[in-house]
Amino acid sequence: MRQKLALILVISVVGSVFIGALGSAFATVQSMQSVPMANLADVQSRSSSPSPTPSATTATPTPSPSKTSTASVPPGVAEFAAMLASLVTDDAPSSHTGYNRDLFKAWIDADSDGCDTRAEVLLLESLVKATTRNTCTVSIGSWVSAYDGVSVTDASKLDIDHFVPLAEAWVSGAYAWPNDKKVRYGNDLGYGPSLIAVTASSNRSKSDSDPSKWMPSNRSYYCDYAATWVAVKWRWSLTVDTLERRAIQAVLTGCASVNVPLPAKAS
């Protein structure tokens, strides 16, 4: 009887231990399974949430290189602008000393017809047939002085201006010419605008000045004045200084047209 009770007690203890161990194992398994499920839910939650949108960065545009505004000239003015561009620059004109007006021999009778260069210009530029006295002294006609717009009938009130003055021609290259070329320049009837009849007062106001120092009082003549200056300098292969060039460029840039014949090169 005692042996049976002892056996039953042993079986009960062993069973209790077995059942406890089994329960503990089951709890451990459940605990192990619950962790990945929680982690999966957390991953799903994060993956289902919208990803944060990066803050938009406004790109700063790179500035394009600024284009230098280059003033263009109309086709009718382009030839004179090109002539000006071709002229050699000499910024030391005052170094060319020794100017002597008499070397240019203004005025001569080049074709021996009895009319000197002054008379020839007056006859050519008069708007009506001019009258003369003695051999070929022009006295009465009709002229308009381009520099100041003044109308003149009495030839004695007019000067014949070397468009590019003799002194200016000298320092722009004529100082190096042979004497016969100086005379041809001083009496250039081969290109009409080289010599021009203007009022004595306007001619003396101009004196030996280039366009950086003097322009006509007749502003409507500015474009033709600048173009003629260039034409004469180009014709005779004279130089310009920097200020003179800039002054002429400034005028030509604002010109819609010019009424000046194109020159031919002088020999």
pLDDT tens-digit readout, 159-209: 999 999 999 999 999 999 999 999 999 999 999 999 999 999 999 999 999
Look up tokens 């001619």; give the residue.
203
> What does the mean pLDDT of the chain come to?
80
Residue with more model confidence, 179 or 41: 179
What is the reported pLDDT for 72? 62
pLDDT at 225 over 60: yes
Q: What is the pLDDT of residue 74?
A: 72
Q: Where are the domains of the chain?
A: 75-253
Task: Provide mean pLDDT across the span 44-72.
Answer: 35
> Whole-prediction pTM value?
0.73
> Residue 14: what pLDDT?
35
Closest alpha carbon to 258 in 63, 47, 79 = 79
Q: What's the confidence (pLDDT) of residue 267?
A: 87
- Judge contact between 238 and 87, C-beta under 8 A: yes
pLDDT digits (tens, 9 = 90+) for 97-153: 999 999 999 999 999 999 999 999 999 999 999 999 998 999 999 999 999 999 999
What is Dmax (Cα atoms) for the chain? 186
**Residue 76 banded pLDDT, cuts 50, 70, 90:** confident
pLDDT at residue 114 in the model: 94
Taking the CA atoms of residue 252, residue 253, residue 254 and residue 255 in that order, the dihedral angle to the nearest 10 degrees is 50
Place 70 in a pLDDT band, splitting at 50, 70 and 90. Answer: very low
The pLDDT assigned to 215 comes to 98
